[in-house]
């Protein structure tokens, strides 16, 4: 009968959630509970020479630092492992195994440096360590490349070669195909390991599929308490111990894992929850780092369809490590659907020539100071325009759309209003990055001509509209509902559904920048005034 062993990666993969800052007391608690649960292998964290030693963290600069944290603890029957992302910890920082608390080291092997990583693993073996070979993102290998990799790993002869599903892409069929391929070429005394992620909600079901296979090959299965881990998390350790006990492979003490969850893990989850989320689904679908999807979703300017299309543009060499400059470049390239807008700009200039334009924004003051706005409309009869939203109780002549996501949320309402309003139909002025749900917009203006590439948030909607209106010979622009930003969620918009998460420096930068744009346009002779209170005037 094959041996199936469990590896607890709570202290290592779980650290992606809390920056490995479990705290000294909880580190010891998690370790000792795992030992008491009868887990076969316990992974205590990363070895990374770039990090200073901190007894409260499970990211340590060398093996000696691991000794300081874990030496003297009762290891029971468990084997103790650390992990190295190849290239982040030099061999000189790793003591010989006989002098270390670590029995073994697992090494992350990236496709582009796999030969060097395997050579590094051989040196670790010479130091006396059990070595686990962890080729990450196995979905990035062709069958022929995987066979070649297996042959190299045979020469290394680790205790296990892993199927690492970095982004949770594998379904049962694909997983079993990769398993059969590796099993056919891997030396019989090398175990196959499986490290799942839950991006597609398949971590546990896939693991069970492997464990239920009729095979003589030994398995090592990774799990973490409550599934804590990178992106959507790992296979929950408590589910694995329960399944193993029910199927009489061995007897693990699931109650000890539940104590880990209750005493240490839940307080982390309450602050920084992990698990299945749309951003992890999107990155899994495009085989890329989760932060790419997170970055684009936070912009709240794109439909999910557009986010998916941008993620599909990411080059393979940029996919695994998040590069903010690179994804911002892709975002702007995607948004920059260049058009010739001369004719539409001329029509707008004619429509607005010599007129007062009241621009309505979504800030709380649009409701709090509604009477002031209503009185102004009654006395001045301005052209009314809103930006990326449809305010209640105000008739609109125009709406300016620069945010594709907000447009998609309003498209049905806009179509209905247009059909009902007849000759007083609401006219839509849209930037070229926004695609109409049906028909065409009344005015299309070039997105690239309105953004400011010198500011870190180049497509802030109010400055974009003001630049457009500056070319229309408008008599005066009056602004209502443009309150500016405060770094508190839930207080920046009249409609809470429009909220962003604001950091303090982000809010300050936006307020300062928008105020500077207003002042610069005034200096050029454009009449702009705020009807409602605004931080942009500060």
Express each pLDDT in 488-514 by its tens digit.
Answer: 655 555 554 554 554 456 778 888 999
Q: Are 163 and 194 in contact (CB under 8 A)?
A: yes
Q: Report, as an integer, the average pLDDT of 241-251.
A: 88
**pLDDT, greater one: 422 or 114:** 114
Q: Is the pLDDT at 538 greater than 70, yes or no?
A: no
Q: Is the pLDDT at 336 greater than 80, yes or no?
A: no
Region of poorest pLDDT, from 226-230, 250-254, 492-496: 492-496
Q: Is the pLDDT at 90 greater than 90, yes or no?
A: yes
Tokens 């002025």 sit at which residue?
429
Indicate the average pLDDT of the chain: 90
* pLDDT 10s digits, 374-426: 999 999 999 999 999 888 788 899 999 998 888 888 888 887 766 665 545 78
Region of poorest pLDDT, from 96-100, 163-167, 288-292, 518-522: 288-292
The structure's pTM equals 0.68
Question: How is residue 323 written in tokens?
Answer: 């590069």
* Predicted local confidence at residue 495, as pLDDT: 55
Residues in the chain: 538
Q: Report, as an integer, the average pLDDT of 303-324.
A: 86
* Predicted local confidence at residue 332, as pLDDT: 85
**Other CB atoms closer than 10 Å to residue 351's CB: what's the count?**
18
- Output the CA–CA distances (angstroms, integers) from residue 244 to 92, 192, 196, 229, 480, in the order listed: 39, 17, 17, 21, 64
Return all residues near 367 (Cβ < 8 A) that are at least 6 apart. Answer: 494
- Give the three-class secondary structure for 469: helix
Q: Are 502 and 486 in contact (CB under 8 A)?
A: yes
Q: How far apart are CA 410 and CA 389, in angstroms?
A: 8
CA–chain centroid gap for 315, Å, is 17
Region of poorest pLDDT, from 62-71, 82-91, 409-418, 521-530: 409-418
Virtual torsion, Cα 234, 116, 91, 319, nearest 10 deg = -40
Confidence of residue 439 (pLDDT cuts 50, 70, 90): confident
Long-range contacts of 293-301 (CB under 8 A, 24+ apart): 295/322, 295/324, 295/327, 296/327, 296/331, 298/500, 298/501, 299/331, 300/403, 300/405, 300/406, 300/500, 301/335, 301/402, 301/403, 301/404, 301/405, 301/406, 301/459
Fold of 4-271: TIM Barrel (3.20.20)
Return all residues near 322 (Cβ < 8 A) that are at least 6 apart. Answer: 289, 291, 292, 295
Q: Are 107 and 83 in contact (CB under 8 A)?
A: yes
* Predicted local confidence at residue 501, as pLDDT: 55
Segment of 190-199, 290-299, 313-322, 387-396 carrying the highest mean pLDDT = 190-199
* Predicted local confidence at residue 148, as pLDDT: 97
Confidence of residue 452 (pLDDT cuts 50, 70, 90): confident
Q: Report, as an integer, the average pLDDT of 475-496.
A: 75
* pLDDT 10s digits, 46-59: 999 999 999 999 99
Query: What is the residue extent of each domain of the chain?
Result: 4-271, 278-335, 342-537
* Predicted local confidence at residue 423, as pLDDT: 45
Task: Classify 354 in phi/psi space as left (phi over 0), alpha (psi -120 to 50) or beta.
Answer: left
Q: How far apart are CA 119 and CA 132, in angstroms?
A: 13
* Predicted local confidence at residue 175, as pLDDT: 95
Beta strands in 157-202 (DSSP E): 160-164, 191-195
* Predicted local confidence at residue 527, as pLDDT: 96
Query: What is the 8-class DSSP label of residue 21?
Result: B
* Predicted local confidence at residue 251, as pLDDT: 85
Q: How far apart are CA 477 and CA 368, in angstroms?
A: 21
Per-residue b or e along 162-193, where b marks 16 or more CB atoms closer than 10 Å to that residue's CB: bbbbbbbbbeeeebbebbebbbeebeeebbbb
Q: In what order do the strands lie in the sheet with 476-480?
A: 443-445, 427-431, 398-401, 383-387, 356-360, 476-480, 528-530
Q: How far apart are CA 408 and CA 427, in angstroms?
A: 16
**Other CB atoms closer than 10 Å to residue 406's CB: what's the count?**
21
**pLDDT, greater one: 221 or 336:** 221
Confidence of residue 291 (pLDDT cuts 50, 70, 90): confident
Q: Is the pLDDT at 474 greater than 60, yes or no?
A: yes
* Predicted local confidence at residue 301, as pLDDT: 73
Confidence of residue 231 (pLDDT cuts 50, 70, 90): confident
Q: Is the pLDDT at 451 greater than 90, yes or no?
A: no
- Write down the number of H helices and E strands in the chain: 22, 16
């Amino acid at each position: 009968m094959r041996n199936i062993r469990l590896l607890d990666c709570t202290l290592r993969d779980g650290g992606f959630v809390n920056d490995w800052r479990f705290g000294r007391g909880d580190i010891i608690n998690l370790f000792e509970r795992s030992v008491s649960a009868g887990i076969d292998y316990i992974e205590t964290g990363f070895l990374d020479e770039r990090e200073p030693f901190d007894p409260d963290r499970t990211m340590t600069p060398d093996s000696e630092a691991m000794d300081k944290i874990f030496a003297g603890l009762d290891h029971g029957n468990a084997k103790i492992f650390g992990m190295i992302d190849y290239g982040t910890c030099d061999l000189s920082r790793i003591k010989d195994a006989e002098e270390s608390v670590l029995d073994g080291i697992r090494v992350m092997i990236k496709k582009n440096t796999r030969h060097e990583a395997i050579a590094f693993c051989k040196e670790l073996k010479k130091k006396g360590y059990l070595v686990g070979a962890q080729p990450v993102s196995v979905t990035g290998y062709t069958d022929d490349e995987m066979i070649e990799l297996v042959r190299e790993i045979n020469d290394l002869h680790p205790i296990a070669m892993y199927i690492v599903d970095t982004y949770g892409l594998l379904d049962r069929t694909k997983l079993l195909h990769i398993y059969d391929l590796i099993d056919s070429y891997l030396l019989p005394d090398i175990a196959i390991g499986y490290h799942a992620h839950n991006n597609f909600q398949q971590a546990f079901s896939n693991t069970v599929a492997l464990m239920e296979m009729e095979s003589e090959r030994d398995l090592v299965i990774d799990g973490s308490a409550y599934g804590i881990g990178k992106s959507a998390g790992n296979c929950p350790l408590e589910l694995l111990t329960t399944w193993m006990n029910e199927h009489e492979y061995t007897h693990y003490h699931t109650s000890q894992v539940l104590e880990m969850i209750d005493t240490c893990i839940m307080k982390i989850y309450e602050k920084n929850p992990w698990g299945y989320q749309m951003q992890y689904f999107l990155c899994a679908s495009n085989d890329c780092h989760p932060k790419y999807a997170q970055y684009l979703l936070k912009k709240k300017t794109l439909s999910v369809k557009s986010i998916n299309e941008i993620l599909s543009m990411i080059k393979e060499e940029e996919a695994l490590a998040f590069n903010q400059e690179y994804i911002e470049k892709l975002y702007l390239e995607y948004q920059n659907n260049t058009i010739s807008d001369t004719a539409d700009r001329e029509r707008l200039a004619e429509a607005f020539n010599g007129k007062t334009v009241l621009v309505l924004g979504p800030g709380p003051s649009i409701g709090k100071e509604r009477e002031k706005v209503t009185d102004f409309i009654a006395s001045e009869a301005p052209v009314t325009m809103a930006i990326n939203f449809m305010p209640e109780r105000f008739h609109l002549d125009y709406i300016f759309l620069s945010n594709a996501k907000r447009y998609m949320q309003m498209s049905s309402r806009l179509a209905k209003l247009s059909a009902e309003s007849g000759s007083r139909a609401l006219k839509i002025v849209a930037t070229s990055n926004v695609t109409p749900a049906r028909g065409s917009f009344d005015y299309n203006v070039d997105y690239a001509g309105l953004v400011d590439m010198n500011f870190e948030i180049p497509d802030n909607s109010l400055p974009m509209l003001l630049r457009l209106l500056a070319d229309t010979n408008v008599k005066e622009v009056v602004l209502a509902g443009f309150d500016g930003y405060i770094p508190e969620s839930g207080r920046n918009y009249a409609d809470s559904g429009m909220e962003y998460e604001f950091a303090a420096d982000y809010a300050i930068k936006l307020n300062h920048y928008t105020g500077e744009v207003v002042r610069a346009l005034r200096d050029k002779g454009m009449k702009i005034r705020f009807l409602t209170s605004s931080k942009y005037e500060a």
